Structure 1
Amino acid sequence: MTTEVTVPTLGESVTEATVGEWLKQPGDAVAADEPIASLETDKVAVEVPSPVAGVIGEFTVELGETVEVGAVIAKIEEGATVAATGEEPARAKQMREEGNEKREDDGGSASSGDGSVSMSPAVRRVVLEHGLDPTTIKGTGKDGRLTKEDVLAAAKNKGAGPADASKPAPAAASVPAAAKGERREERVKMTRMRQTIAKRLKAAQDNAALLTTFNDCDMTAVIEARNAYKDVFAKKHGIKLGFMSFFAKAASLALKDVPAVNAYIDGDEIVYHDYVDMSVAVSAPNGLVVPVVRSVDAMSFAEIELAIADYGKRAKEGTLTMEDMQGGTFTISNGGVFGSLMSTPIINPPQSAVLGLHRIEERPVAVNGEVVIRPMMYLALSYDHRIIDGREAVTALKIMKEAIEDPMRMLIDL
């Protein structure tokens, strides 16, 4: 009996997606509810589970093809599972052999019992670029799948030790190097998520009156507090005490005192919030995503750190949901983790402001008439000038600065 696999409901107002990765191949056995494909939507990757146990028969759409909700993407031969003895039904064996031949033609590999590795097109490209053997790389993605970060980390460590002469070099390594002076180009279709990011950022520039105000803050007090309590904090809460929780609490204070920074424009009305749902930009294999930590103003430092860590882990695994991304009244983006000294972040519509954090750098500053060396960070607050006046933006950023330089303010709500 053949069962069709259809595109599931993708979320509110989302009607289509792009086939980003096949997690199984024709001839592979699947269990009921086991993911067989990953679809890229405007915001997140959505896995499509198998409705029944059986063997993958055929795919009815191509990798990279746009599909609508309810469309048939694959067919499963129900009940044609691989026996516990390891023997396969004749039809399943035939489909597996056909799938293997197709994978060889495509130059890719898939996760199966033959020791091959499941890779998305982006990951496969990085593997080939660095001449790595994917079977020697430990995957940290869902179900052990390789991520781009896994491959880049392996490439960075490549050559750290003597080569193992007993292992054959990967095929990609034998590709002759480009001749000196030769120039190459590669044309790669943008993922649906990257297309959406591009459209939203351009729309923000076109529709909002963007302006950025800067300040710098002395990180001495926060660093001292973190160093004094990080061990007992981690022991009690099971999570490291980072800087993001301090900035989330500091921003919450500022947004309560300056409500316009936590509001947005809806037609000819301004919508104010008496809560803070904070979007936190985190890096995912397919681009930057901004899951929402809800009611962050009512959360403890530990709850904030746990929520952000969970989002970071799920972003890397590709398991964030549409609900995780929806809403948000204010955004924090930490470019400092990548070494940025200063930037002008773009707001995340329909929000009206975003706080940009940057790297901590020791610099000489004047304190009480003396020049001292302090760990300093530049803060950038980009905002929509249609709703937020310069005075309000500067005041909000100043409140954040003061809270970071004197963390006691966050405990006594000043």
Structure 2
Amino acid sequence: MPEQPVIMPKLGAYTEDVLLSEWLVAEGAEVAAGDVVFALETDKTTAEVEAESGGWLHRIVEAGEKVAIGARVGVIVSTRAEYETLLAGADDGNPFLGYIGGGGGAAVRGAVASQPATGAPGAAPPRAVAGPLVSPRARRLLVDAGFSLEDAEAIAGSGPGGRIVDRDVAAWIETHASSPAPAPADGLSVSSRIPLRGRRGTIAQRMVSSLQTAAQLTSVLEIDVAPLVELRRQLNDAGAEPRVGVTSIVAKLAAAALREHPLLNSRVTGDEIEVLGEVNIAVAVDTPDGVVAPVLHRADTLTLEQINARISELAARTRAGTLTRDDVADGTFTLSNGGVYPVDITTAILNPPQSALLWIGRIRDRPVVVEGAVAVRPVLQACLTYDHRAVDGGPAAAFLATLESLVTALPDLPA
């Protein structure tokens, strides 16, 4: 079998470098096709990458490095002899085979030489283990608390196979909290420091880049959502499982509105506006590590029941940290429901390279005029942020007007 490269995969529309957060197998370890070999991290998710073939792994990129999409981070060869030859080539000046970080093939051979000898000729060597296995969430928690990954050696893992998970790190941190940092020169006390790195650092970079790149503005429309509230009540009283949420109904209506207003389902690339054929709605989910936006693919083709079930599933897997690459890939429009907080209006920042994002506020009773009389009705503020390079104010307002008309038409749902 020829050398099989281990590639940093593409995650949807992401174009920037991706963090190789953790190698999950050791240098020189034997892996089988389908074994998880490394974890990656973007601002929206973490994911684990599997080997596409079996053999012996040579790691090219160290954990903690950012890597271009499509770049080789390792290579798998089919036999131990090929692996030894691969290492020998590293010392012959081949930059691809060299072990990143210094030492070249000699450093790797030193590690291999320290492994126990195999038994009978032809017997498979034991799989190598590179210190404790630490889940990506546990790794971030440890680093964000100001500790190094070397400190994981002192933590007992309670996960499968002794893997260290976030609850193990949290318990360990409670008994190993560092002393308060000295006061800064201005005399103000600092109660804690949160490193701006990992997912939070990536979010910061992407949001600043989004504001600097796109011509963003927000239009707001107050919508009487009495028909939506009534539909949700009827469905849940009838035993809907999982229970239907406001987000699911709005996602269904927004998908239909995007079919009528395709410029809102576009992206700007260089000197072109690309109007996208698929309506893939990314739904923002809050997690302790930041907002993640798993995607409802082809949302305009799904029923309300399918959308509701899918959102419930994706939200649960987001909070459990088990999303896959496909779950966060290829979003074309973002929906964020801020209604769980007592907030009415916000000016959300676009999720690049998307051209539009719909943020909805809380539902609250307000006096409104209905057929010439004042009545108390449940309303929410629909806040549409859009990229003025692709979308003018008129089409943005028309999208919101369509959304309002679809709400008014409930319980009749768009096809």
Query: Where on the TM-score scale, by shorter chain, does this alignment land: which range?
Result: 0.5 to 0.7
User: Which residue of 181, 190, 211 corresponds with 1:183?
Assistant: 190
- What residue is the counterpart of 2:10 in the other structure? 11
Q: What amino acid is the match of 1:336? A: G
The answer to whether the 8 A contact 2:218-2:385 is kept is yes
- What residue is the counterpart of 1:47 in the other structure? 48
Instruction: State the Cα distance separating 1:296 from its structure 2 match.
Output: 1.2
Q: What amino acid is the match of 2:21? A: G
User: What is the alpha-carbon root mean square deviation over aligned residues?
Assistant: 4.9
- What residue is the counterpart of 1:278 in the other structure? 281
Uncovered stretches (5+) of structure 1, i.e. residues with no partner: 81-90, 100-108, 112-116, 130-134, 156-167
Runs of 4+ with deviation above 6 angstroms = 12-15, 28-32, 50-54, 58-62, 73-77, 125-129, 135-139, 141-145, 175-181
Instruction: State the Cα distance separating 1:32 from its structure 2 match.
Output: 7.7
Q: TM-score, normalised by structure 2?
A: 0.65
Deviations 1:377-401 (CA, angstroms, capped at 9, x unpaired): 1110112223323222112112212
Structure 1 residue 122 and structure 2 residue 146: aligned? Answer: no
Q: What amino acid is the match of 1:348? A: N
Distance 1:371 1:143, change over 3 A: farther
- What residue is the counterpart of 2:221 in the other structure? 215
Q: Secondary structure at the match of 2:339?
A: helix
User: Which residue of 308, 311, 326 corresponds with 2:314?
Assistant: 311
Q: TM-score, normalised by structure 1?
A: 0.65
The answer to whether the 8 A contact 1:216-1:378 is kept is yes
Instruction: State the Cα distance separating 1:317 from its structure 2 match.
Output: 3.3
Query: How many residues align structurally?
Result: 358
Distance 1:138 1:304, change over 3 A: farther
User: Which residue of 227, 233, 247 corresponds with 2:233?
Assistant: 227
1:295-374 residue pairs with structure 2 within 5 A? Answer: 295-374=298-377
The answer to whether the 8 A contact 1:239-1:302 is kept is no
Structure 1 residue 171 and structure 2 residue 171: aligned? Answer: no
Structure 1 residue 64 and structure 2 residue 70: aligned? Answer: no
Distance 1:17 1:369, change over 3 A: closer
Distance 1:372 1:19, change over 3 A: same
Q: Secondary structure at the match of 1:410?
A: coil
Deviations 1:132-177 (CA, angstroms, capped at 9, x unpaired): xxx99998x9999745xx799x99xxxxxxxxxxxx996248x778
Deviations 1:354-390 (CA, angstroms, capped at 9, x unpaired): 1111122233333344444332211101122233232
The answer to whether the 8 A contact 1:281-1:334 is kept is yes
Deviations 1:292-321 (CA, angstroms, capped at 9, x unpaired): 322211210011112222322332233334
Tell me how far apart the structure 1 counterparts of residues 251 and 26 of structure 2 sit (CA, whole Å).
44
Uncovered stretches (5+) of structure 2, i.e. residues with no partner: 75-98, 100-107, 117-124, 148-154
Q: Secondary structure at the match of 2:385?
A: strand
1:131-210 residue pairs with structure 2 within 5 A? Answer: 146-147=165-166, 171-172=175-176, 182-184=189-191, 186=193, 188-191=195-198, 193-210=199-216
Tell me how far apart the structure 2 counterparts of residues 241 and 388 of structure 1 sit (CA, whole Å).
32
Q: Secondary structure at the match of 1:336?
A: coil
Identity %: 31
